[in-house]
Amino acid sequence: RGRNLEEASVTLAAELNLRLRAQARQAGVSVASLMHLAWARVLGNVSACEQVVFGTVLLGRMQAGDG
């Protein structure tokens, strides 16, 4: 467990960031939710599974507020 882990980071272009925010706003969800959807689709495609499960660690975000 916890071996052979790698981390990757990608910075999105400003225009793509704006488009993602607009798309999320139009759908009534957060950009994070939109990215979770995209990641679920990637995992489903590469694993050939219709249902996938993954988690996200959210520290100090148990009580959602407005926005």
- Residue ranges in 1-54 assigned as alpha helix (H): 14-27, 31-47
- The answer, yes or no, to whether residue 63 has pLDDT greater than 70, is no
What b/e readout covers 3-20, taking b as 16+ CB neighbours within 10 angstroms?
eeeeeeeeeeeeeeeeee
**Tens-place pLDDT, residues 1-54:** 678 888 889 999 999 999 999 999 999 999 999 999 999 999 999 999 999 998
| Predicted local confidence at residue 65, as pLDDT | 58
| Predicted local confidence at residue 25, as pLDDT | 97
Give the start-to-end residue ranges of the domains of the chain. Answer: 7-67
